[in-house]
Structure 1
Amino acid sequence: MTKFMMKCLLITAVLFFGVLLGMQQASNGMGALKGNKENGEPIAIESGKGVKEAEVLGTPVGVQDLKTKQKQLEETKAFNFFSSLGGKVSGLVSYLFQGILSLISAILTQIFGSLS
């Protein structure tokens, strides 16, 4: 019994250490995405002499680039395959459960209806 408890304690300690390590890595990753003192601001916009310059995570982006990308996004019909698939699966599951419940209801009605 003692060996089993020691194994469980050891496994629990290793898993706990893994969770703490994962949380630290996630925190570092989020800091890198947000932009910190090492990487600079995530989005920096400087305006001088009527010209605006943008910088995203250290990469310079021209205003013209942003306008063309925005126009492309507006022109293309954004279609999310997984969203539509999820909607169809949800409808299918709902339809199946309604059918199963109506079948169970009909069976119970016949069983209890014949008793009375």
Structure 2
Amino acid sequence: MKTGFANIVSGQGSGQANTSQPTTSAVSPISAAEAQAIVAAQNIQYREEQGEPAGNKTSLAGGGIVLKQYAGAQGIDIIKLTPKPGNKVNITVQNGSLRDGQAGETAPISQNITVDR
């Protein structure tokens, strides 16, 4: 113990490697199939249609995904799923955004929840 203390004081360390590493909360990306299952479990309507809106099933930075569906005349529902630590996912829904948000016309977020994956 005396030698270890002397080494620390002299700047040579204790002779033991510091093996502790910071813990990270890695999250796995959400696949289109998983996203559809999560949305269905939350009773959020999503249907795949022929002629899907541009950007449907687009991956987002951080492992998220966007699901889009047509909602009436020029309207598009946008469902964004973002993975969170602790095996959670945040879901935001914009119902009926006009022309997919072009020309500054977007619907307000009608739902914002965090659920288990």
Structure with greater contact order relative to length (CA < 8 Å, sep ≥ 6): 2
TM-score > 0.5 by shorter chain: no
The normalised TM-score by structure 2 is: 0.30
More strand, by proportion = 2
Larger Rg: 1
Q: What TM-score do you get using the length of structure 1 for normalisation?
A: 0.31
